[in-house]
Amino acid sequence: MATLLKGGALFLHVPKTGGTFLRKLFVALDLVKINFARDHSDMRRTLHVSKHHPGSFLYSSLRLGRSVEREAKRSFKFCFVRHPFTWYESCWQFMEDLGWQLPLPPPSRFGFYNDPWHPLEPVAQAADKDFNSFMRKMTRQHPGYLTRLYEQYAPAGWIDFVGRQENLIADARHILDHLKVNYDESIFSSLGRVNASKTLRPVWSEENKKMICELEKGVFEKYGYETG
């Protein structure tokens, strides 16, 4: 879900970029004002939640005491991204752990329409127990998938800050400092590791690595990731 934080910030949770750790951090610091929309709602579906998840919009607005959509639009908006290599690795491990079945969407509130979109649907379509076979399917069926995915969460002109999973703690500090939150440094170590996969980390074929460097060029260039 999208998360409105005290202090006027909006967190958009890109799958497999450290978002579960961040949510635990925000809860531990009592920063969560309200969660709304649905898991991994992108920028468009979050800022126009009344269209995509009208039940959630109504419920969240009633709890908030004002329009959650209006509050989201005027908030400081941030999300996190991750290196394409480790993102695809982590996503494949996650789906293996789930048996390639995406979580069901939450039930519609008050009988309203609920947008069935899930950002990992293309990943589920490429299901394969062999990582490199999975990657070949992704590059053929959904070339440049991750570049497009990140753009859905961090479109130019709408996002205020994009952190990197590799700098998770340092960038989380940046968010907390922006919100003028007082915290003890021990909070980060106290949360521990989150969402550790049961599936072993896969080994890339050089062919697939080369293909991802070409097809996800937008991510490498925009966020300054090394291709080596």
Residues 136-156 have pLDDT tens digits of: 999 999 999 999 999 999 999
Residue 208, H or E segment: helix 206-215
Mark out the alpha helices in 30-119 (DSSP H runs). Answer: 43-47, 49-52, 54-64, 68-73, 84-98
Q: Residue 196: its pLDDT value, please? A: 81
Which CATH class for the 2-103+112-223 domain? Answer: alpha beta
Q: What is the DSSP letter of 154?
A: S
> What are the φ/ψ torsions at residue 3 (nearest 5 degrees)?
-125, 120
Cβ neighbours of residue 53 closer than 8 Å, sequence gap 6 or more: 36, 37, 38, 41, 45, 112, 114, 115
Q: What is the pLDDT of residues 72-122, one digit of tens each?
A: 999 999 999 999 999 999 999 999 999 999 988 878 888 899 999 999 999
Give the list of residues 6+ apart from residue 160 with CB closer than 8 angstroms, or none. 76, 77, 78
CA 92-94-100 angle, 5° bins: 75
Q: What are the boundaries of each domain within the chain?
A: 2-103+112-223
pLDDT at residue 206, rounded to an integer: 97
